[in-house]
Structure 1
Amino acid sequence: MNRQSQAAVLFLLGAALLHAGTTDLYLRYVKAGLQPLLLASGAVLIVAALATAWYEWRRGRKGHGEAPDEGHGEKHSHPEPRISWLLVLPLLALILVAPPALGSYSATRTGTALQEPLAYPALPATDPLPLGLVDYAGRAVYDHGRTLEGRRVRLTGFIALDHDGTPYLVRMALNCCAADAQPVKVALTGAIPPVLQPDTWLTVTGTYTPRRTRDPVNNGPIPYLKITSAAPTPEPRDPYDESYNN
């Protein structure tokens, strides 16, 4: 692949990153906080592509104005293999195809990633209280529900069914990108809907219960939520990040 072709591929890659970063597409790959770095990377690649193309254009004009060296004749150019243009296909896939977010298949084959929070901020007096699933799970397990007692909470997540049919409400937590996503699970009890389909997104309202179980994959702690009502909900804009509506 010659320099002009390399510049074209760089430009397409930069444009793909900018396209992903200016739409919700990037949320399928990385956490929301990395958007500025993604946009900066796209801009740098486009600038590098334009600089490469300009440099090659100037070198070509300079070369045309010079006579060939005596005794050597003109240099023969060799065509580049066309198969190298297959490098463009992943870029087109990035632009045209939005991969689905990780769901119940990954959740049931990966142990819960629940970790002890550093602090337990005070909760507003809203009723029911919209709470992130990870926040609820951390308070329920490691704070023993002290800040949840007597409160109705509202959580959103997707359904995953264990091998024995145990229903979990799940959100996938990210450290950096979708490649390192791990599930945080809340087991459901109480007024569970009679029919639950894996990967269905639900918003559930319920109360804290001290009951808990162990993840069959890694023996990690899984708290329960006693449901009083549940309703289907569209997949959120960012399926990986928790939404703390304080």
Structure 2
Amino acid sequence: MRRETQNVLLVLLGGALVKISWDGTYLRYVRPSLLPLLLGAGLVIVAIGVIAIVFDIWGHRSEPAQTTGSNDVDGEPDRRARAASAEVVTQDASTGALVADSATGVSAASSGASASTRPEPTASGGAATSGEHAEEHAHRGRSSWMLMLPVLAILMIAPPALGSDSVQRAGDRSVVSERPPSSGLFGPLPEGEIPEMQITDVVMRTVWDAGGALEGRRISVTGFLVREEASGDSGAAVHVARIRIMCCAADALPVKLRLTSDGAPAAALDTIAVDGWMQVVGEVVPGSATEANGNVPEFLVSEVTPIEAPADQYEY
């Protein structure tokens, strides 16, 4: 890959990072606290690319004009010099004597083999051929072009935040790892008659909080709808879910509540498409989150309200 192309790719890559930082789409990929680092990295990459381009342009302009040949119109002295050099090399090679090419500074042995034509050794002890060198350069070129993939993905495709597909592919992975010895890890519930809680907090309290703070309490959660088809011993299920990340989308874990409803709430759920966002009010069934069901609590729904997707769709 040409140096000029590499510099342009740097500018595009840094520009893509600045763009997603500016318009807020970075929240689809990393947590909000990483915004300064992401924006700073983008600006630095853009600056490096721009500086390299400026230096290249300045270097090309400052190069003195290169001239070939001599003052003679027909270039006869140059041709004579080249012919004389060729004659010396030919004559010495035929005598088998040790020679030095004044043009290249390369010595040849009495066998007539020139050191300039010897194959370069490789790491394995063999000789590197011109084909191997060409293949190595081709690999380097392809790896450089790989920089275009994130640029095209961000500028043209803009991958959405993780949703129901990630929840279903996660299987039994859960934020619940082990039960703590006491319930002292949890503070009081948020204020209000119907406190609004994160699904992560609801799951952890249902599994770990021995104090039963959620028993008999109506709470409100916000998430997207996930429908799971019947498989094996498990029947079809409807969940409200969120994706929880620690750093970025690469370490995402799903958290969800299994919804149980009838009447008007059930009818409202039927009108919401998969990945549609909603606010759900209801009560957690005590003891419903077990290892057998992947620590997914059952949630008795009393109200369902469709909403627009929030700007920040993850929990932390």
Sort the TM-score into its range (normalised by shorter chain): 0.7 to 0.9
CA distances 1:175-224 after superposition (whole Å, capped 9, x unpaired): 222233221111122444232542222211112320414577xx521112
Instruction: State the secondary structure of the residue aligned to 1:227.
Output: strand
Whether 1:201 and 2:277 are equivalent positions in the alignment is: yes
Structure 1 residues 99-108 or 124-133, which shifts more? 99-108
- 1:139 partner amino acid: R
- Separation of aligned partners in 1, 2:227 and 2:210: 25
- 1:204 partner amino acid: V
* Distance change >3 Å, CA 89–CA 102, structure 1 → 2: closer
* Distance change >3 Å, CA 112–CA 169, structure 1 → 2: farther
TM, length-normalised to structure 1: 0.81
Q: Is the 8 A contact 2:206 2:289 kept in 1?
A: no
- Separation of aligned partners in 1, 2:275 and 2:291: 19
Percent sequence identity is: 34
- 2:174 partner amino acid: A
- Separation of aligned partners in 1, 2:213 and 2:69: 84
Structure 1 residues 10-19 or 117-126, which shifts more? 117-126
Unaligned runs of 5+ in 2: 71-77, 79-102, 104-137
Q: Greater CA radius of gyration, 1 or 2?
A: 2
1:103-122 residue pairs with structure 2 within 5 A?
103-110=163-170, 111-115=172-176, 119-122=185-188
Bigger relative contact order, structure 1 or 2 (CA pairs below 8 A, ≥6 apart): 1
- 2:294 partner amino acid: G
Q: Is the 8 A contact 1:160 1:170 kept in 2?
A: yes
Aligned to 2:288: 212
What is the CA-CA distance between 1:169 and the residue it aligns to? Answer: 1.2
Structure 1 residues 127-136 or 188-197, which shifts more? 188-197
- Separation of aligned partners in 1, 2:290 and 2:294: 5
* Distance change >3 Å, CA 202–CA 61, structure 1 → 2: same
- 1:174 partner amino acid: I
- Separation of aligned partners in 2, 1:153 and 1:187: 15
- Separation of aligned partners in 1, 2:8 and 2:221: 46
Match of 2:246 among 175, 191, 196: 175
Whether 1:156 and 2:227 are equivalent positions in the alignment is: no
- Separation of aligned partners in 2, 1:53 and 1:215: 58
Aligned to 2:198: 132
- Separation of aligned partners in 2, 1:178 and 1:161: 22
Aligned to 1:233: 307
- Separation of aligned partners in 1, 2:256 and 2:2: 51
Higher helix share: 2
- Separation of aligned partners in 1, 2:69 and 2:30: 54
Instruction: State the secondary structure of the residue aligned to 2:302.
Output: strand
CA distances 1:49-97 after superposition (whole Å, capped 9, x unpaired): 122112222322332367789998xxxxxxxx99987854642331232
TM, length-normalised to structure 2: 0.64
What is the CA-CA distance between 1:112 and the residue it aligns to? Answer: 4.0
- Please tell me the root mean square deviation across aligned C-alpha atoms, in Å: 3.2
Unaligned runs of 5+ in 1: 73-80
